[in-house]
Amino acid sequence: MTTKITVEEWRKEVERVMGTSNDDGMTTDELCEAMGMGPAAIRIRLKRLRSAGKLGQGWRDSVSLIGVTRKVPVFWIKRGSK
């Protein structure tokens, strides 16, 4: 017998098993601020990391200035990458 679960319950179970959440990482704006670079320079570096297979990507809920919730991409360097 199977039981239906909600998407939120499924995400929590995946996070529990995997040990991470899908919103770990930094947005492009956060990377710009942290590294003192412009968006174009950050995007070039992200593309290089992605093509090398070293970039992880997830999504985070973000609330805009007008109160609209939207998904924004977040990035991180995969563990074990050199």
pLDDT tens, residue by residue, 4-61:
777 777 767 766 665 555 567 899 999 999 999 999 999 999 999 999 999 988 888 8
| C-beta of residue 71 within 8 angstroms of C-beta of residue 60 | yes
What pLDDT is attached to residue 29?
92
What pLDDT is attached to residue 41?
95
What pLDDT is attached to residue 32?
93
Cα–Cα dist 32/39, whole Å? 6
pTM flag (> 0.75): no
